A and B are shown apart, each in its own frame.
Chain A
Amino acid sequence: MTQDPLEIYRRLLLIRECEAQLNDAFAKNRFPGYLHSYLGQEACAVGVCDGLTDSDVIVSNHRGRGHYLAKGMAVKPMMAEMFGKASGVCGGRGGEMHAADPSIGVLGGNGIVGGGLPIAAGAALSAQMDGRGAVAVAFFGEGASNNGSFGETMNVAAAWKLPLFLVCENNLYAEMTPFDQTVAQPDIALRAAGYGMPGEVVDGNDVFAVREAAARAIARARSGEGPTLLELKTYRWGGHFEGDPRKYRTREEEDEWKARCPVARVRKILIDERGIEAAQLTALETQVASEIAEAIVFAIDSPLPEPETALSKVYAA
């Protein structure tokens, strides 16, 4: 785990800048497809991934960039993948919802809500058989918790004591439907008990709280005690996708949550409690912003894959 809070801040910033600048590119019509922003949820990915090594694997969802960056994916090829460019981590054919890098344990995103959960269980089964203490992490939203794949995954992971860490980022809206319209019980973490595993609700906007809870879940998985469900209460600043007019919620609610910004919160702690100079943070912010800006330029300037490549790799050799 990172001991340096400045490094935690840098990782939060990296995701924040990535999302903010991508939103900007989308608004200027420079982004080629749907964009599912992770803005506002940065503390979840950073807090969880801080306890992982390259031997641990994650599966992601529609809103994957935070997870990829927090797990250590190289910024430029990840960004190029988002733009569907040949220089992307997957040659551009995965695009915005699908990036992977097995060398750092990223097993991909997913275009199907709940689709990654069973895959994470399978990766956890491999890790259990390998016996080297590796962990599989499934990131999913609260929407996926109403999918059958969630219950099936929870059940088998608990029954087999798989080294699986289930991370539910509850951002209150399943696509465009408020979560409280589709469930009677607001705490998904309570469902863990029914499957025979620990479940915990944590403030998903507090990176240090996420990190501590994640460390417990990861330690449990590593030591063979089985899966844990962590529910991170957070908020998706944008719509389900960029351009979503968000008629299903109020601007007041959005402002309330923005006031609980997970990035600004760490900045304040660094200044107030750690005595770090604001100027030092501003320099870091500028540096991270340029890194992302350069990656976006790299992505935009990169060539598209040739259309005939669509016919390749249907089957593996």
Chain B
Amino acid sequence: MANKTFCWAIIDAMREEMERDDSVILIGEDVAAAGGSFGATRGLFDKFGPARVRDTPISEEIIVGLGVGAAMTGRRPIVEIMFIDFLGLCLDQIANQAAKTHYIYDGLFKMPLVIRTSTAVEMGIGPHHSQSWEAIVSHIPGLKVVMPSTPRDAKGLLKAAIRDNNPVVFIEHIALHRVKEEIEDDEFLIPLGKADVKREGRDVTVVATGLMVARALAAAEVLSKEGVEIEVIDPRTISPLDIDTIVESVRKTNRALVVTSSLKQFGLGSEVSAEITERAFFDLDQPVKRLSPPFTPVPFGRQFDEYLNPNADSIVSAVRELMA
């Protein structure tokens, strides 16, 4: 067992998969000698060389397009798009090309492409570096969307994403990059599409994603002292969503709260909430509650990010309301 940061877990996942399979390549801005904008590709250029680890121009559409074309012709590319806010620059390649190629051509091509990107909600970096777009990409059929909340999950999910024959948008929160966790030395994979119960409880099901998982767990500690036990579920894969695990939990707890950085309107919380309501309405003692940022862009500065996003206190309050 080694104590690893989320960031090194990502690097380990890529290194192990590149060692295992020559067809895995890495393409993106600053991924080679620089070692990645967030240090998440360190050592890979030295180990695998310039043919397999390539710096690109700041040219997001071609970065993803290179991945699409390479995936159609026998490679398993990992491409890095620095911030999720930049996906708009390459959305054609993601939504119209990568996500649909297998489908349009009736299975003639597989699309083993991983698009690693980061989100920086609550880092205070300003309106073009603070968005939470997992709902936008999750709305596109054919894509898989993964959002890990711990180092171990990040490693196992990324390895599974690289081996998956579908395009996967892999969203890393850069605040989580520094988080550490004991990770086993033996190889492991975490299957895509399977939620994880991060804490068991009987009173309220709290579905939380990404950065919000740790906050839900912190809230659980506070609530536990009040005699309220929440069950914290991290979907880990946002699309396809493991709604069965969530609904099963709600049938036990009869109350549900969804906590995301995804905007409230048309967001991830809306989707989870609607699914719970459709499938388990008569098991609910209270309407499903959402904690999400309000429908606004984000100004520069951490005070705004902190003001707009859910935190442990707001989770505690929301759970108390559900228990009232």
Contacts and interface: CB of A to CB of B under 8 A. Distances in A.
Contacts of B72: 102, 107, 119, 122-123
Contacts of B108: 90, 100-102
A44 interface: no
B105 interface: yes
B273 interface: no
Interface residues of A, number: 43
B101 A108 contact: yes
A153 B65 contact: yes
A64 interface: no
Contact of B69 (A118, A160, A314): A118
Interface stretch (A29-37, A91-99, A267-275, A279-287): A91-99
Contacts of B301: none
Contacts of B73: 57, 107, 122-123, 126-127
Contacts of B56: 156
B57 A125 contact: no
B147 interface: no
A118 B64 contact: yes
Interface in B46-87: 51, 54, 56-57, 59, 61-62, 64-75, 77
Nearest to B192: A315
Contact of A90 (B62, B96, B106): B106
Given A118-B64, A122-B68, A156-B56, A90 B105 contact: yes
A111 interface: yes
B63 to A, nearest CB: 8
A121 B102 contact: no
Interface in B224-243: none
A1 interface: no
Interface of A: 57, 59, 90-91, 93-94, 98, 100-102, 107-108, 110-112, 115, 117-127, 129-130, 136, 148-149, 152-153, 155-156, 159-160, 313-317
For the complex of A and B, the 6 pairs showing the least CB-CB separation, nearest first, are A118-B65, A122-B69, A126-B73, A152-B62, A91-B106, A119-B69
